[in-house]
Chain A
């Protein structure tokens, strides 16, 4: 895959993330810069159509444009071996209308040092990394300890305030795992 530069060995908050140039699962090619055009920032979201944790955020992604009109959503179907056809099928099933980039060879994940889905990176218009980590600490609905991480970070960024917690540990499904290469149990 072309169009992704190798980053510093340790990605840092305040550093610049590499630009991306990736195919869209429905056709065409987009860069991260093209998403930033006319927006104040973007959220690069490592995502997978089969991730059992990403499914919790369908509503957030579906409403993204209305919730965050100033920040572009850049979802990347990133699990190694995941085909564009699989992603298209799931996107149709789940009613997604936003473009989904595709990087099934692990290059985008390697460039962002992402290990699992979902994992979010908030960048400003100059691709400066402002936040990375989990979308929230969701465990179950109505959890009294629930805390959103990503959207408060966006709100702070848009308001020009420092982001209170610029990094959170993320969790989810492995982007690359030998278990995906083994014969499937239900085949």
Chain B
């Protein structure tokens, strides 16, 4: 099985890690001796160039690889290569006043970088390398190299390189092919199709050009042409899984295959057909949440304290969009002038009331795969937010996929955890930051003392108390290394227990969440996993995962500090390129279902939104029976009862990495209320006001259900409101709350089909809203 490494592999990895750490220590000692400032967690963008040697070497490596890629694709002369390399070196080392001293450290810095890169490649090969050729790695490299080019709007320069080459060598089909691909990335599909027609005349490039032509025409809305092109290309012998898949997608949009498509080139979808009681309808435009953008994170919060759940959407092709709930589940865009609209290039959102004033504040990370300035916005209570990043001391320049609010020391004040992801092919693992809340609007980074400074590149971060000792523990999921589990020792320090806990087999990990899927009172972990395109296509069409594939992981809590991955036992085998996911009881049957928002940055990646329904024993893919769309590119999956009527909405900020890969935010709502429900809002008085970290148990119909109030788990941030599905006709016997500070509270016979609010320490609840009963 992927990720199952041998003793030798583990020993090699441990040896490399130890070597890298030793080299780092020697470098630090040498730096102190030669009075070269050590590398510190970056706060400011390096406008004048990288601030230290480690970053400069990484920067130079990234630049040289990027230049190498364009030379390979567009060709150039030796003089130009030399000039470009000199310029790359100059920019990478700009502003260094002590070069001779740096020379002593250079080999050590290179060694630490090589160790990190080797470990990443090792992990990646464990995942996919034995089953596939270099294609996966080439695609991943292209994504990393493109990101900065498109972010800094240098797509024109990229195209000009290809055009310049073609002006001199019009027969260079490689340059023409990649010019066309750049057009597709910018949404210029007609130009792309024209170039691809020419490129396809080259016998060597014809198969790829024909495939790209199908993509260009599909994305250009010419589904009929794309279908015919795919059919004709396959008749020529260009038969690949991807070609079949995109021809099928085009045929689906065009009303079916043409008669010319032979049976062996046709596909049928087998996934997502299990029967279900829930049926979704898309209501984004109807309720005013249809923001078109390169959507990323989403958050559900009550920013104005009116009791209705509002929505914040992060769109990387635009700023943050703030949408106020009109009280009936429809929304008004109140972004302009809110201050959040100025937050350009946002990625992940974490919402938490750090000053306990009853108004949720917002922390935003930028560009998950490239460095960005994180921002903390204080909620002023009048519909505006103020950037207080500097005053609060939470500034960070880091590739920020995710962050989360947590009261890790249970002092009643929310702290902020900010790990970093990988920001470039040759970036080093960024430092983790744990900002302790000082209680006066300022924070102190205590990551080093806590043992959370040196972390692998992290995509998903989620906090939950797995051993029920009252302190939240930390699970980290990453794309380039092993997952991590840190036990909270309760004294401000953390211990890495990943290996003993049995959760550290590497995978292409994305976001993760704690949830008690089997309602045994012990939190389990769901780690969402990305996969290569072919594995997704295999799963989509066959309704089961490929041999050696990696489905999402459900780590069952064994109640003894260890976990067992039981996803296959639970019937989950399909591989998806999951970028975001969450849990929620969509059919109100009392069992937590899972939601997988899938996709990938490449222009030839389109995937369905997957709903895995839990019947108490197994999870079944009910996506298409439930009415979810066939394809898309989904991010920021969020789950909330936006209308307060018991129906959990699925919200997904959607869109891709490239400007030509736009989508609109989707909101899927169950058509009917299929079971009783209870929504519970907690207000901490001794605990943090949001009650983040609280555990809620409901007893109904002879069984228990458990929920955790989460402070963010990936792209988005779930509402603090907890939703319980109770099945048809069930009433609730009791509700128990375990507050983050340790206090316990019980409410007997709470109402059903209602939203209630419970203040910490008060035995009575407040009825916020009485909702409808199921039909």
Q: Do A and B belong to a common assembly?
A: yes
Q: Which residue numbers of A lie inside 8 Å of B, CB to CB?
A: 9-11, 50-53, 55-56, 113, 115-116, 132, 134, 137-143, 145, 167-187
| B1 interfacial contact with A, CB 8 Å | no
Q: In the complex, which of the residues B63, B319, B341, B663 contacts A139, with contact meaning CB atoms closer than 8 Å? A: B663
Residue contact A185 to B63, C-beta cutoff 8 Å: yes
**Main secondary structure on A side of the interface with B:** loop
Known A140-B187, A174-B345; judge A182-B315 contact (CB<8 A).
no
Q: In the complex, which of the residues B66, B221, B315 contacts A142, with contact meaning CB atoms closer than 8 Å? A: B221
| Residue on B nearest A168 in the bound complex, by CB | B333
Residue contact A171 to B294, C-beta cutoff 8 Å: yes
Q: Which residue numbers of B lie inside 8 Å of A, CB to CB?
A: 45-47, 49, 63, 66, 70, 87, 91, 94, 148-158, 161, 186-190, 219-222, 285, 290-294, 315, 317-319, 321, 333, 335-337, 341-342, 344-345, 373, 659, 662-664
| Residue on A nearest B48 in the bound complex, by CB | A183
CB distance from B444 to the nearest CB of A (A): 25
CB distance from A149 to the nearest CB of B (A): 10
Residue contact B221 to A171, C-beta cutoff 8 Å: no
Known A10-B336, A177-B344, A177-B345; judge A185-B319 contact (CB<8 A).
no
List 7 A-B residue pairs with CB atoms under 8 Å apart, sorted by A's residue number.
Answer: A52-B187, A139-B663, A142-B221, A145-B285, A184-B154, A185-B148, A187-B87
Interface hub of B149, B219, B337 (most chain A Cβ within 10 A):
B337
* 10 tightest Cβ-Cβ pairs between the two chains A and B: A142-B221, A10-B337, A171-B318, A52-B659, A174-B344, A171-B293, A141-B221, A169-B291, A185-B148, A183-B91
CB distance from B448 to the nearest CB of A (A): 27
Q: In the complex, which of the residues B70, B188, B373, B662 contacts A55, with contact meaning CB atoms closer than 8 Å? A: B188
Known A53-B659, A115-B319, A142-B221; judge A180-B152 contact (CB<8 A).
yes
Residue contact A181 to B318, C-beta cutoff 8 Å: no
Residue contact A51 to B321, C-beta cutoff 8 Å: no
- In Å, the complex CA distance between A167 and B337 comes to 14
Residue contact A52 to B318, C-beta cutoff 8 Å: no
Residue contact B662 to A178, C-beta cutoff 8 Å: no
Interface hub of A10, A116, A174, A183 (most chain B Cβ within 10 A):
A183
**A172: chain B residues within 8 A (beta carbon):** 317-318
**B333: chain A residues within 8 A (beta carbon):** 167-169
- In Å, the complex CA distance between A37 and B54 comes to 59
- In Å, the complex CA distance between A132 and B337 comes to 13
Residue contact A187 to B91, C-beta cutoff 8 Å: yes
Q: In the complex, which of the residues B152, B189, B662 contacts A184, with contact meaning CB atoms closer than 8 Å? A: B152
CB distance from B326 to the nearest CB of A (A): 14
**B319: chain A residues within 8 A (beta carbon):** 115-116, 174
Residue contact A186 to B292, C-beta cutoff 8 Å: no
Known A10-B336, A137-B664, A174-B344; judge A169-B317 contact (CB<8 A).
no
**A140: chain B residues within 8 A (beta carbon):** 187, 189, 219-221, 662
**B94: chain A residues within 8 A (beta carbon):** 183
Known A52-B150, A182-B152, A184-B154; judge A113-B341 contact (CB<8 A).
yes
**A183: chain B residues within 8 A (beta carbon):** 49, 91, 94
Known A53-B317, A182-B152; judge A139-B344 contact (CB<8 A).
no
Residue contact A182 to B46, C-beta cutoff 8 Å: yes
| Residue on B nearest A113 in the bound complex, by CB | B336
**B70: chain A residues within 8 A (beta carbon):** 186
- In Å, the complex CA distance between A36 and B430 comes to 53
**A177: chain B residues within 8 A (beta carbon):** 344-345
Known A50-B156, A140-B189, A172-B318; judge A145-B664 contact (CB<8 A).
yes
Residue contact B189 to A115, C-beta cutoff 8 Å: no
**A52: chain B residues within 8 A (beta carbon):** 150, 153, 155, 186-187, 659
Known A51-B153, A52-B150; judge A115-B318 contact (CB<8 A).
yes
Residue contact B153 to A173, C-beta cutoff 8 Å: yes
| Residue on A nearest B161 in the bound complex, by CB | A186
Q: In the complex, which of the residues A143, A176, A178 contacts B45, with contact meaning CB atoms closer than 8 Å? A: A178
Residue contact B293 to A179, C-beta cutoff 8 Å: no
| Residue on A nearest B295 in the bound complex, by CB | A171
**A134: chain B residues within 8 A (beta carbon):** 292
CB distance from A81 to the nearest CB of B (A): 11
**A184: chain B residues within 8 A (beta carbon):** 152, 154, 157
- In Å, the complex CA distance between A178 and B662 comes to 23
- In Å, the complex CA distance between A172 and B319 comes to 9
**A168: chain B residues within 8 A (beta carbon):** 333
- In Å, the complex CA distance between A141 and B222 comes to 8
Q: In the complex, which of the residues B151, B158, B188, B220 contacts A179, with contact meaning CB atoms closer than 8 Å? A: B151
Residue contact B154 to A185, C-beta cutoff 8 Å: yes
- In Å, the complex CA distance between A171 and B661 comes to 13
Known A11-B336, A115-B344, A171-B293; judge A179-B317 contact (CB<8 A).
no
Known A179-B152, A184-B152; judge A116-B318 contact (CB<8 A).
yes
Known A143-B221, A187-B91; judge A179-B345 contact (CB<8 A).
yes
Q: In the complex, which of the residues A113, A116, A139, A178 contacts B292, with contact meaning CB atoms closer than 8 Å? A: A139
- In Å, the complex CA distance between A175 and B318 comes to 10
- In Å, the complex CA distance between A50 and B221 comes to 25
**A176: chain B residues within 8 A (beta carbon):** 344
